[in-house]
Amino acid sequence: MEKDKEDFMPKILAFLCNWCSYAGADLAGTSRIKYPPSVLPIRVMCSSRVDPLFVIKAYLSGADGVLIAGCHPGDCHYEKGNYYARRRFVMLKKIIEEIGLEPERLRLSWISASEGNRYAKTVTEFTEKIKKIGENSTKNRIFL
């Protein structure tokens, strides 16, 4: 049983903003920084492009974790997109919490284009955390 948990490699859906976090992830790659192969990245133009519905859809489809990453506050390519994204994320997390689902599976991170290390660290940490929580059980639900 213990071994199963060890072997479990979570599937994390990551929405990465085009201008910062995606470039950060790129940098992590080109710098050959090691991080777990758990992430399915989706490039979005801005973290504020992430409709809370995307996250709900991902969760109900069985994603073990969802990461939303954007520019640091103040650095948004569109000036204020990430501020909106933050408010939406706060709301979404609260809703998830209030209806008894698992807010731990959601994560918001600010990662700039120069922070390859931070990207790798975020993914590593998040993956470890999800490994501890275990698989998302909606994966095999029929009555959704």
Partner 1 sequence: MVKALKINKDSEQAVIDLLKLLLEDNRIKGVLTLKKINKKGDVAYTLITRPDELDDAVPFYPLMPINAGKLLSRFTLKGKTREPIIAVVKPCELRGFIELVKRNQGNLENLFFISSTCGGVYPIKMAVDGVVKNNLSRYWDAVKKNENAADLRPACKGCEEFIPYTADMTVDLIGKNDLDKQCVILLNTKNGEQLVRNIKLGEFIEGELDKEKLDKLRVKREKEKKKIFDEINAKINGIDGLIDIFGRCIGCHGCMRVCPICYCKLCEFESPDSEYTPSNYELELKKRGGLRVPPGILYYQLGRLTHVSISCVGCGSCEDVCPVNIPLTSIFKKVGESVQELFNYIPGRNLEEDIPLITFEKEEFAEIEE
Which parts of this chain interact with partner 1 (CB under 8 A)?
A: 52-53, 56-57, 60, 62, 73-74, 80, 83-84, 86-95, 98-102, 107-110, 122, 125, 137-144
| Virtual torsion, Cα 75, 38, 125, 55, nearest 10 deg | 60
Residue 137 Cβ vs partner 1, minimum distance, rounded to whole Å: 6
Q: Which is nearer to partner 1, 30 or 137 (CB)?
A: 137
Q: Is the dihedral of CA 117, 128, 59, 96 positive or negative?
A: negative
Residue 91 Cβ vs partner 1, minimum distance, rounded to whole Å: 5
Residue 73 Cβ vs partner 1, minimum distance, rounded to whole Å: 7
Left, alpha or beta for 79 (phi > 0: left; psi -120 to 50: alpha)?
Answer: left
Q: Which is nearer to partner 1, 40 or 90 (CB)?
A: 90
Instruction: Determine the straight-line distance between the first and last CA of the chain, rounded to whole angstroms.
Output: 28
Q: Which is nearer to partner 1, 1 or 144 (CB)?
A: 144
Residue 90 Cβ vs partner 1, minimum distance, rounded to whole Å: 5
Q: Which is nearer to partner 1, 45 or 90 (CB)?
A: 90
**Burial zone of 6 (CB within 10 Å; 0-12 exposed, 13-18 middle, 19+ buried):** exposed
Cβ neighbours around 47 below 10 Å, total = 30
Of 3, 67, 60, which is closest to residue 35 (Cα–Cα)?
Answer: 67
Q: Which is nearer to partner 1, 77 or 93 (CB)?
A: 93
Residue 117 Cβ vs partner 1, minimum distance, rounded to whole Å: 16
